[in-house]
Amino acid sequence: DVLDPERLIQCPYNKHHRIRACRFPYHLVKCRKSYPEVAKELATCPFNARHLVPRADLSDHITKCNDKGFIEQDIVNQSSGFQRQQMNAVSTWQAPPCDEDWET
């Protein structure tokens, strides 16, 4: 199950490390410091910071990343929500009273 916090995930820095999903972000930070040479070779997915892939494979990963759909859906939801707000917004502006008579 992808949402199970106890499932084991393989570390991209050391293939022998298997970490529980709930601890994975913390492990990535720690392991990045321990393996700086490996870290230089990996790129972070723009849709999910937990996805570390070889730099040469990043563009391929981006086209296939499952999390891209979530981001795109969020963008659609936000923009349609903004449009709804714009349509429902009613102006409460009123011109201030004017005591001047330009004709005189």
**pLDDT tens per residue, the chain (104 residues)?**
778 999 999 999 999 999 999 999 999 999 999 999 999 999 999 999 999 999 999 999 999 998 887 777 877 777 766 566 666 667 777 888 888 888 87
**C-alpha distances out from residue 70 to 78, 96, 100, Å:** 12, 47, 58
Total-model pTM: 0.64
* Measured distance CA(1)–CA(10) in Å, rounded: 15
**C-alpha distances out from residue 15 to 11, 34, 90, Å:** 6, 14, 58
